[in-house]
Amino acid sequence: MNPQEYKYTPEHEWICPESKDKGKVGLADYAQSQLGDIVFLYLPAPGTQVKQGKKMGEVESVKAVSDIFAPVSGQVLEVNQTVIDEPGLVNKDPYGAGWLLRLELSKPPELDALMDSDEYDKLIAQLSEEESEQTED
């Protein structure tokens, strides 16, 4: 189950609000399972301005590369150096140790546009159903 306190984007990023204007950002479990073993992360440096819905980085697995989109607008405060050194943490613990970066939110109301965990769980259920339909003859 996807953590209740978190908010989610349709591109499978999550944000965990820490205070009214700060939050931790990462990739959802669905993203890491789709990508497979993650081998490299391109993340924006501290101080970079990011915009909600716009590409802010990339995640690479052995056979695929995917864009990472900013869940909200703001400034990058900190990048998780541990996950840079050990990208596999995103696979092992996407909601915990596998966090990617911390943001200072420039427009906290943007959080309202994101999905809560119930809505996101529904999305995942729907995607999984579509996938198994595809596999049938």
Partner 1 sequence: MSHNHLLPEISKPGKIGYSLPALDVPPTELPPKELLRQELELPEVSEVELMRYFTALSKLNYGVDTGFYPLGSCTMKYNPKWHEDIAKLSGFASINPLQPEESVQGAMQLMFELQEYLAEITGMNATSLVPIAGAHGEFTGLLLVKAYHQDQGDEARKKILLTDSSHGTNPASAVMCGFEIGTVASDSEGNVDMKSLESVMNEEVAALTLTMPTTLGLFDPKILEISQLVHERGGLLGADGANLNALLGRVKFGELGYDYVQLNLHKTFSTPHGGGGPGSGPVCVKEGLADFLPWPLVIKNDGRYKFVSQAKSIGRIANFYGNFCVMCKAYAYIRSLGAEGLKEVSENAVLNANYLKEKLKPYYYLPYDRTCMHEVVFSGKRQKAKGVRTVDIAKRLLDYGLHPPTVYFPLIVDEALMIEPTETESKQTLDAFVEAMKEIARDVEENPEILHTAPHNTPVRRLDDVRAARNPDLRWEMRSQGFG
Partner 2 sequence: MPSPYVANTDADRRIMLRKIGVGSIEELFEDIPEKLRHAQFKLPSPLSELELKKKLNQLASLNASLDDYACFLGGGSYRHFIPSTVEHVISRSELYTAYTPYQAEVSQGTLQGTYEYQSLACQLTGMEVSNAGMYDGSTAAAEAAIMACMITKRGKVAVSTTVNPTYRDVISTYVKGRNLSIEAVELNSSLSSDCACLVGQQPNFFGYLEEMEAHVQKAHDIGALFIAIVDPISLGMFKPPGHYGADIAVADGQALGNPTSFGGPGLGVFTCRQEYLRQMPGRIVGKTVDVEGKPGYVMTLVTREQYIRRERATSNICTSEALMALAAAVYLATLGRRGLRQVAELCYHKAHYAADKIAKLKGYSLVFPKPFFKEFAIRCPVAPSEINRALFKAGIIGGLDVSHMIDNSMLLCVTEMNTKQEVDRLVEILGAF
Q: Which two tokens stand for residue 33?
A: 């399972």
Site for partner 1 contains 134 (CB under 8 A):
yes
- Please say which residue, 36 or 96, places its beta carbon nearer to partner 1: 36
Site for partner 2 contains 62 (CB under 8 A):
yes
Instruction: Give the angle 30-87-108 at the CA atoms, nearest 5°.
Output: 60
* Sole binder of partner 1 in the list 11, 60, 78, 121 (CB under 8 A): 60
CB atoms within 10 A of CB 31: 21
What minimum distance in Å lies between the beta carbon of 48 and partner 1?
Answer: 25
* Sole binder of partner 2 in the list 64, 113, 125, 127 (CB under 8 A): 64
Instruction: Collect all residues with Cβ–Cβ distance below 8 Å to 122 and sequence separation of at least 6.
Output: none
Site for partner 2 contains 60 (CB under 8 A):
yes
- Cα 41 from Cα 87, distance rounded (Å): 7
Tell me how many helices (H) and strands (E) the chain has. 4, 9
In the 8-state DSSP scheme, what is residue 63? S
Site for partner 2 contains 125 (CB under 8 A):
no
- Cα 124 from Cα 131, distance rounded (Å): 11
- Please say which residue, 112 or 136, places its beta carbon nearer to partner 1: 136
User: What residues between 33 and 52 interact with partner 2 by CB under 8 A?
Assistant: 40
Of partner 2, partner 1, none, which one sits near residue 125, judging by CB under 5 to 8 A according to partner kind?
none
Residues at the contact surface with partner 1, assessed by CB under 8 A: 37, 39-40, 60, 62, 87-88, 132, 134-137
